[in-house]
Chain A
Amino acid sequence: MDFITFLDYAIAFFSLFVLNVFILLFLRYRKSYLKPPEKTDWEPVISVIIPAHNEEKHIKDCVKSIFATVYPKEKLDVMVVDDGSSDNTYAIAKSFGKKVRVFKKKQGGKGAALNFGLEKAKGELVATMDADSYLTEDTIKELVPYFTDPDVMAVTPSIKIRASDSWLKEFQRVEYLMILFSRKLLSFIDSVPVTPGPFSMFRTKVFDEVGKFDENNLVEDIEIALRIQSHHYKIRSSMRAGVYTDPPDKFGKLLRQRVRWQRGGIRNYWDYKFLIKPEYGDFGVYFVPLNFAALTAFFILLALLAHSIFTTPYYVRYIWAEAFGMGIGLFTFIGAFVLIFSTFFLYLSVKSFREEHVKLRYLLSFIVFYWYLMVCYNLLFIAQELKKEKYKW
């Protein structure tokens, strides 16, 4: 077996394995993954920190959505941290009167604004929230009961995108649903790797134990989750607590966001590579190494595809139909298996959210185009890393 063939086999097997882990997790937890946690009468004070930089368009609806949730109003401590806005954000936030505490500070980035809020937080639980995100009625009610387990330090909700007619938004909407489903499955092996910026809830004391947000991080929401994992605390994930957020509406913006996620993500995993140890359980043995393996596999696959295109024998154009037929074999079989089961996985992801309906054409275009998006942002990622481009928002 030559080296190229060996790589082909290795990539095929790796993709199968990763897919099968998810399929088995689903089969194992198919009865419980949609169940809410056990009900509780416990209603702690919750501080919601909203860092806002020039968010005059969103801040009003954002705060309104918090007060529209089913939870005692007097136990909601809503704080807007105006991070050096030059627009009307401060005034709008102030218009809520005493219900909302508004702070103004010099612009210092999201992490710093969150830490500023943490200093002032009164609640036993604290939620971080983006100004362009909106809670639903049940969000808080669904999240709080997870904290009755004393080991749980953070819970992530289901961050979704509202249905629209924009192709780009629907594309991301499908992706978000798939990510939520995967994250829920990963929570069963204590491997939730992120507490998403749009909305996440924490036990306030965790910040005393593990430290506050990293103020110089591209993706402080990944970093804090890795840090919580490194202290052996649990992060749970809820399928039922919905939060809506606004995704990038232009391809350029989306690409920039993804490159940031990818660069920030990989750098953080690299900083936390010490987690690759059996004492960190499934997270250390499977999930953290998986990130490096998947990135490596992605680039190997890209190289293999390029190689096979550039080394197509010259005579193939005379027999392309026959060559196509003869090309069908092991890799077609594995490719078909992966495609069918990942499509099924996608279908399950969407079906798991009873209130979310996705048009078939958006589902199909997601299956077709997701790969190209990954190629785009991964190539930019590697280009920027190689050029040692400045690492910033």
Chain B
Amino acid sequence: MERKVSFHLYIGAFLISLIVFLTGVFVGTLLDTANVQRISGDITHVSERLYSVQLLILMEANSSSFCPVYLSELSSIDQDVENFGYQLTYLEEEKGIQDDELKKQYFVLEAQSYLLSKKVQGLCGDDSVLLIHFYSNKNCSDCRQQGEEILKARDALPDTNVKLFSFDGDMGSPIAEALMNQYRIREYPSIVINGKKYSGYRTSEQIQKLMSEAE
């Protein structure tokens, strides 16, 4: 028999596949944009909550009678802020979406919530542990693992209220750089536990010990 190649069939299948594929790329991009906007909106929303706590502290002129309000508000805010960080990292690592402006906006929020937590810690004498992790996405091979070790350490001490704050020091965020200057951070990774600096990589056990001491 005479054999033939059904080019029209393959070209047709290729074109349909291409259309579906490109539609998928388009839908994916739309969804990615929507995600970035949602996170950005969430950050703004939490910023506003943070301002209202700040305002309350200012108006009450550092009286500790409102401490229960500060503490409950801040614990929820700090949790949200931490989660935003994970979401941004997820977008960056898994979806390849890097939005530097959003990240800077996030670091401002994170710094504010850190400073406020520190203030409330002094004011209300709460026994939470504030841990800052300074990392770099560019010049630090241990930083990913360091982040994991910190989470492990926190999970190992369920009775300790550990609040985490992470800053990328290499992406030109003025507020992250200001904090780094304040704690004289020279290398990555570095961690600061209740104001005390520890340079270099630490294992989960070492961090647990440092946190127990700080408490």
Contacts and interface: CB of A to CB of B under 8 A. Distances in A.
Interface of A: 5, 12-13, 16-17, 20-21, 23-25, 28, 151, 189-190, 232-234, 278-286, 313-316, 318-319, 322-323, 325-331, 333-334, 337
B4 to A, nearest CB: 5
B86 A318 contact: yes
Interface size class of B (residues with CB under 8 A): 35 or more
Q: Which of the listed residues A278, A323, A327, A333 has the most CB atoms from chain B within 10 Å of its own CB?
A: A333
Given A326-B95, A333-B23, A319 B5 contact: no
B1 A233 contact: yes
Interface in B69-102: 82-83, 86-87, 89-91, 93-96
A21 B151 contact: no
B94 A285 contact: no
B94 A281 contact: no
A contact face: mostly helix, strand, loop, or mixed: helix
A333 B30 CA distance: 12
A209 to B, nearest CB: 14
A319 B3 contact: no
B80 to A, nearest CB: 11
Nearest to B7: A285
B127 interface: no
Nearest to A336: B24
Contact of B17 (A16, A190, A318, A329): A16
B9 A189 contact: yes
B31 interface: yes
A278 B3 CA distance: 9
Given A24-B13, A315-B151, A330-B24, A278 B5 contact: yes
A28 B12 CA distance: 11
9 smallest A-B Cβ distances: which pairs? A281-B3, A329-B28, A333-B24, A330-B28, A20-B13, A16-B17, A151-B1, A315-B86, A330-B24
Nearest to A330: B28
Nearest to B9: A24
